[in-house]
Structure formats: C-alpha cells, structure tokens
Amino acid sequence: MIELKDVDKKFPDVHAVDHITTSIRDGMVFGLIGSNGAGKSTLLRMISGIIRPDSGQILADGEPVYERPDVKARICFLSDTPYYFPNADVRQMQNYYQMVYPSFNGKLFDDLTRSFSIDTNRKLSSFSKGMKKQVSILLGLCAGTKYLLCDETFDGLDPVMRQAVKSLFASEMMNRDFTPVISSHNLRELEDFCDSIGLLHQGKLLLSEDLDQIKCRICRLQCVIADTDREQELFRSLNILKLERSGSLLTLTVQGSRDSVMDIVQAQDPIFAEVLPLTLEEIFISETEVAGYDIKDLLY
C-alpha cells in the first residue's frame, strides 16, 4: 500500500501539492484526475521518489520512498513524455530497463513486442507518438515492479490499443502483486477501469474514494413539482450542488444516495421524479465547480 501523510510541496510560484493525505490500496487500479495544473504530475513524481516533499511522509509498504533505492525498486514511473536515449532502439532500452529493474520480464517483453508488431531493432526516434507510448507502457509493465505510475500514459493511443493495454494490466493484476496508478484527462477511459479515484484541484485533494462509493453519494435528480412552496421546501431539504430549470422541469445535481434523495422528493408530492446516475466526467465537473473551478469563469 502507498500512504501519503500530510504531503506538501511548493515551488517558487505555485503551491503544487497542498497537504494531501490518502492511501492507495494494493491490487486496485487507482485513477488520479484533476484540472490542468492541479498537481498530478508533481504528486506522482513524489510517490516515485524523484522529488522530495517539503513536508509530510510518503510510504510504500510502510517504508519511506525518497532516497531509498530498495523501496524505489518496487515503483516504475512512466512520464507523460517518454524519454529514450538518443539514437537508441527498442532492444537497447530493454537492456537498460533490465539493468535497472532486476525483476524485468524479458520473455514477456519479447512476446508483447511481437504481438504489437514492434520492431525491436528500430530506432525509437523514428516512431510516432503513439508507438513511443506503446513501447513505454510495455517497458513499464515488464519492469516487474509492484507499483506502476502512469502520467497521461494512455494519451496518444488509439482506442484499440487502449483496450489492449487495459487487458494487459488486468492480466498482470491477476497473475502477480501489481497496482497501477493512472493519471489521465480522459475520464471516460478511467470510468470502466479504475476501482478508486483521487480528485485533485489546485494542489488539494477534493476526494479519494472507491468509484462505486462516489457514484452512490452523488446523483442527478429530474423532477416536476407543481406547488411552489413544496419546491422551495425540496431545495431546503437537499444538498444541491447544481440546479437547472427548463420550464417546470428541474434538474438538480445533489449529494446523497439514490434512495435517500427519492424519499425527500416523494415527500413533496412530485408530478414526476427520477434519479439518474452521474458519469465520472459529470462528477468531476460538479466537484470542481463547488471548489470554484467553473467553466463559466473561463468564458468571456
């Protein structure tokens, strides 16, 4: 398990990570989402031991990460922009990873490069962005580390390749002790893949929960209530994050479970009422709007 305890990091012009406390459980896919500049990359670099936090603790399996090569050997970090040695081909990068990561699975790498039709003798500088990302993911997956931190690693992959990578991750999780941590702006990609989600905004962690729990505690309500007084009572009774009106139809984003919200609505004798689940993207927008990150403020 990875534990973050009151982790804080400042740069001269920005408070990148603001006193974050959370944990990432073993054997789960953890998705890290957030607005641009929220601190996702900085957080992943601190978890991998590349950057030292100003204060707080980061532990992997109960041991500090920073300046601990034995602990960092359990973690592989894949940057959003893969770095390869100048003029290196795929085989040379494989040899380097085998030298750095003692548990590197060379046979699996050979099998996967054949399956993905990757020429291991070809120079990486001649690869497209998507092909470079493929090689990076395969190297990270075959490194044999317990934790694999992916910073926007799926960006640039086509839909078929994304699905193939998800299947590879799932296979590794079934066959060994493996915990992926994935940062991405593509929330739809994470929704059917992640077990838990951490939402960052301006360096602060707005939430960190199992995805199923998040979806159970926030929902979208559509209803029609003829009586104005009853409508106002409904507003007072619900924890409303967002309200929209179209004629007599109300659409509300509210905190609370589906059953509890419906009980409150039914008490106001609605003409029509329906509770709908929210997508991860809608949850992200709702939570960040509450935190002051509203699209209306970005338009002029």
Contact criterion met (CB below 8 Å) for 241 and 229:
no
Q: How many residues does the chain have?
A: 300
| Residue 209 lies inside a defined structural domain of this protein | no
Residue 11's nearest CA partner among 185, 206, 203 is: 203
Based on the fold, state whether residues 141 and 245 are members of the same structural domain: no
Based on the fold, state whether residues 167 and 64 are members of the same structural domain: yes
pLDDT at 57: 94
Q: Which residues of 169-205 are buried (b: 16+ CB within 10 A; e: fewer)?
A: beebbeeeebbbbbbbeebebbbebbebbbbbbbbbb
pLDDT at 278: 77
| Residue 208 lies inside a defined structural domain of this protein | no
Write the pLDDT tens digit of every residue in 124-156.
999 998 899 999 999 999 999 999 999 987 777
Based on the fold, state whether residues 191 and 225 are members of the same structural domain: no
| Residue 207 lies inside a defined structural domain of this protein | no
Amino acid symbol at 60: A
- pLDDT higher than threshold 90 for residue 292: no
- The larger pLDDT score, comparing residue 291 to residue 77, is at 77
| Domains in the chain, number | 2
CATH number for the domain spanning 159: value is 3.40.50.300
* Most distant CA pair in the chain, distance: 74
**DSSP-derived secondary structure letter, 111:** H
Based on the fold, state whether residues 195 and 223 are members of the same structural domain: no
The boundaries of the domain holding residue 165 are 2-202
Which of 172, 202, 232 is a domain's end point?
A: 202
Write the pLDDT tens digit of every residue in 74-133.
999 999 888 899 999 999 999 999 999 989 999 999 999 999 999 999 999 999 988 999
The pTM of this model reads 0.81
pLDDT at 161: 85
CATH number for the domain spanning 270: value is 3.30.70.100
Contact criterion met (CB below 8 Å) for 221 and 257:
no
Based on the fold, state whether residues 115 and 223 are members of the same structural domain: no
pLDDT at 37: 81
The Cα–Cα gap between 191 and 281 comes to 9
Based on the fold, state whether residues 159 and 14 are members of the same structural domain: yes
pLDDT at 83: 87
| Residue 88 lies inside a defined structural domain of this protein | yes
pLDDT at 289: 64
Phi, psi (rounded to 5 degrees) for 249: -85, 125
- pLDDT higher than threshold 60 for residue 266: yes
SS3 string, 246-297, reads ECCEEEEEEECCHHHHHHHHHCCCCCEEEEECCCHHHHHHHHHHHCCCCHHH
Amino acid symbol at 155: D
Q: List, in sequence order, every beta strand (DSSP E) within the chain.
A: 2-11, 14-24, 30-34, 55-60, 63-64, 75-78, 147-151, 179-183, 196-201, 204-210, 218-224, 239-246, 249-255, 272-276
- pLDDT higher than threshold 50 for residue 297: no
Q: Which element (helix H / strand E) includes 100?
A: helix 90-100
The Cα–Cα gap between 294 and 105 comes to 46
| Residue 137 lies inside a defined structural domain of this protein | yes
Which of 95-109, 184-198, 217-231 is modeled with the greatest confidence?
95-109
pLDDT at 282: 75
Q: At what angle do helices 129-142 and 159-175 cross, to 10 degrees?
A: 0
pLDDT band at 231 (very low <50, low <70, confident <90, very high): very high
Based on the fold, state whether residues 164 and 232 are members of the same structural domain: no
Based on the fold, state whether residues 270 and 218 are members of the same structural domain: yes
Amino acid symbol at 261: V
Which of 202, 224, 244 is a domain's end point?
A: 202
pLDDT band at 290 (very low <50, low <70, confident <90, very high): low
